[in-house]
C-alpha cells in the first residue's frame, strides 16, 4: 500500500510541475514518517524514497538509528518545533533542521555542530497564517540571524530557505496566501543576503501540496497520503 501511495503522490507532484510550468524535478518530496514504524520507512525506502521528515527527535533517533544499523542510510530532516535539549540528537541524526524558529535554537545548533564537528542545513520557519503558532512572525528576526551566520558567529549553519505550515482552515485563499507569503519572504531575504543563494521553499502537506506547488514550493512534506492516518494513542 505504501508503495502505491508513494507513487500516486509522486505522480501528482509531477503533474503539478507540468500544470504550473515548474521545472521538471524541481519539487522534492519529504515523506513524513512520524508516528509510523520503522517498517513503513523501510517500505517507502525500498520503493525509492530517500528523504524522510520527523518531528519528534527521540522517536526519530530510535527509528533511524535502527534503520542505519542495517546499513540503510536514508536522509532525515527534522520538521517539528525543537526544544533546546533535543538539539544535540537532532544534529546527530539529521542533515537539515527545517524548523528553526528562534535565536536560542541557533545558538544551540552552532554549539552542537562545533562539538560534533559538523555543518548542518537549516530552514527558517515563518509564521504565515493566523492559526498556526510556530515560526518567526516576519523576516526581521531571520535577517538578524542571517547577519550572524554571514559574519561567522553561527557559521556552522547553512541557510537553505524557508519553511511554513499553512493554517488549518478550509479557506483556500488563506492557504494560498500563506504560501505566497513564504515565496515573497524568500525573495526579500535573497535580495538582502544574495551570498547564501537560498532556494528552498518547504511548503505543502497531504491536504494542500498542489496549491503549494502552484505557489512555488520546492519541497512538499507529505505524511498521511503516503503512510495513512497516524495513531496518536501509541
Ligand atoms: C505532520 C507534518 C506534516 C505532514 O502532514 P500530513 O498532513 O500528514 O501530510 C508536514 N509538515 C509538518 C511540519 C508536520 O508536522
Residue-wise pLDDT tens digits, 216-227: 999 999 999 999
Phi-psi region of 161 (alpha: psi -120 to 50; beta: other; left: phi over 0): left
| Exposure letters 125-134 (e unless 16+ CB within 10 A, then b) | bbbbbeebeb
In the predicted model, is pLDDT for residue 132 greater than 70? no
Atom of ligand 1 nearest to the CA of 224: 8
82-122 pLDDT tens trace: 999 999 999 999 999 999 999 999 999 999 999 999 999 99
Q: What is the pLDDT of residue 131?
A: 60
Q: What is the pLDDT of residue 31?
A: 98
Distance 177 CA to ligand 1 centre (A): 19
In the predicted model, is pLDDT for residue 8 greater than 70? yes
DSSP letter, residue 84: G
| CA–CA dist 30, 220 (Å, integer) | 6
Q: What is the pLDDT of residue 233?
A: 73
Residue 121's DSSP bridge partners are 96, 158
In the predicted model, is pLDDT for residue 234 greater than 70? no
Q: What is the pLDDT of residue 52?
A: 98
Which residue's CA is minimally distant from atom 7 of ligand 1?
206
Distance 184 CA to ligand 1 centre (A): 22
Measure the CA dihedral 66/68/74/80, to 10°. Answer: 50
Distance 229 CA to ligand 1 centre (A): 11
| CA–CA dist 168, 174 (Å, integer) | 9
* pTM listed for this prediction: 0.97
Alpha-helix runs per DSSP H in 138-171? 139-150
Q: What is the pLDDT of residue 168?
A: 87
Q: Which residue has the cell 528553526?
A: 100
Q: Ligand 1 pocket: which residues have CB below 6 Å?
A: 32, 34, 55, 79-80, 165, 205-207, 221-225
36-70 pLDDT tens trace: 999 999 999 999 999 999 999 999 999 999 999 99
Q: What percent of the chain has pLDDT over 70?
A: 98
Amino acid at each position: 500500500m505504501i508503495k502505491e501511495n508513494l507513487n500516486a503522490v509522486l505522480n501528482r507532484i509531477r503533474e503539478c510541475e507540468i500544470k504550473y510550468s515548474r521545472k521538471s524535478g524541481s519539487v522534492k518530496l519529504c515523506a513524513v514518517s512520524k508516528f509510523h514504524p520503522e517498517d513503513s520507512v523501510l517500505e517507502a525506502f525500498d520503493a525509492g524514497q530517500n528523504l524522510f521528515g520527523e518531528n519528534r527527535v527521540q522517536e526519530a533517533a530510535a527509528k533511524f538509528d535502527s534503520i542505519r544499523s542495517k546499513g540503510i542510510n536514508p536522509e532525515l530532516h527534522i520538521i517539528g518545533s525543537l526544544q533546546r535539549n533535543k538539539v544535540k540528537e537532532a544534529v546527530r541524526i539529521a542533515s537539515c533542521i527545517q524548523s528553526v524558529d528562534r535565536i536560542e535554537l541557533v545558538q544551540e545548533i552552532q554549539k552542537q555542530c562545533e562539538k560534533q564537528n559538523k555543518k548542518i542545513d537549516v530552514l527558517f520557519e515563518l509564521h504565515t497564517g493566523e492559526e498556526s503558532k510556530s515560526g518567526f512572525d516576519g523576516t526581521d528576526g531571520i535577517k538578524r540571524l542571517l547577519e550572524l551566520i554571514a559574519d561567522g558567529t553561527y557559521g556552522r549553519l547553512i541557510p537553505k530557505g524557508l519553511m511554513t505550515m499553512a493554517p488549518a482552515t478550509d479557506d483556500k485563499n488563506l492557504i494560498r496566501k500563506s504560501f505566497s507569503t513564504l515565496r515573497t519572504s524568500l525573495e526579500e531575504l535573497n535580495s538582502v543576503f544574495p551570498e547564501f543563494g537560498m532556494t528552498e521553499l518547504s511548503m505543502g502537506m497531504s491536504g494542500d501540496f498542489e496549491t503549494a506547488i502552484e505557489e512555488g514550493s520546492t519541497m512538499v512534506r507529505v505524511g498521511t497520503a503516503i503512510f495513512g492516518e497516524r495513531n496518536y494513542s501509541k
